[in-house]
Amino acid sequence: MPRILLTGAGGGIGTRLRQMLPAIYPKLRLSDLVAPPDLGGNEHFMAADLADAAQTDAICKDIDGIIHLGGYSVEGPWQPILQSNIIGAHNLFESARRQGVNRVIFASSNHAVGFYPRHHRIGNDVQPRPDGRYGVSKVFGEALGSLYADKYGLKVTCLRIGNFGDQPIDQRRLSIWLHPDDLVQLIRIGLEHPAIHFEVLYGASNNERSWWDNHRAHDLGYRPQHRAEDYRDHALAEQAKLPADQVADFYQGGSFCAMEYAGDGSRIWS
């Protein structure tokens, strides 16, 4: 069985994957800054600061594939994003190369393309339009993945994750929702599919309102099992409770676009 490293094991997505992946990848190594408080006795954990190259070397040793979720997971100040998401991503890819890792799944984000309007349907090859410093760090990670695939032979899959959870909780998430089961399916494609060289795929379930053309994931065998429209009434009822926001409601990135927004308001129309 392949030996898999999961970074960011203490985060929201990482915590859920800790429950789901061991049945598929029994040789699963977990890593984060500190051990999760509910760490089980049968779980193999190694603490690491991604900004420290020696520590990323250590967690990548004797590993076949990496699911890289680690880093600063929301919009925030430049310095923590720089350390965790940019320096940390570089260290992780470089350690993977040095340690002979075969495959890397990089958790990118819809925020790498958040400044596309919602009425634009976009593919995986569009020009990046990040909606904040966090989004910029995800664009950087995708570029690193491309470089390490082409120059060093790593097999890299970047997943532009929408909104991860058991159900969509508002109108925007009806377009970008990703069920945990469907994420696991995408992870298995990235770690196992023989055709992987470098791919950018959208992390989204079967969403009729999707803004994304995810045909490449389908070409690789992705068949999402969960439908956002099954939760439509609840999501729209929750949306009705939220205040309108001209910027957030226009762009795909939602509130990330509205933060600190001082752009050209004439670009926004209904």
Q: Which residues are catalytic?
A: 134
Phi, psi (degrees; rounded to nearest 5) at 68: -100, 95
Structure tokens at 146: 């491309």
CA dihedral 43, 28, 30, 52 (to 10 degrees): 140
Instruction: Report the DSSP beta bridge partners of residue 109.
Output: 161
Tokens 């992870």, residue? Answer: 187
- Among 196, 210, 186, 209, smallest CA distance to 154 is for 196
Alpha-carbon span 207 to 138, nearest angstrom: 23
Instruction: Report the DSSP beta bridge partners of residue 6.
Output: 30, 67
Type of residue numbered 94: E
Question: Who contacts 115 (Cβ-Cβ below 8 Å, separation ≥6)?
Answer: 129, 130, 131, 251, 252, 253, 257
Phi, psi (degrees; rounded to nearest 5) at 113: -130, 25
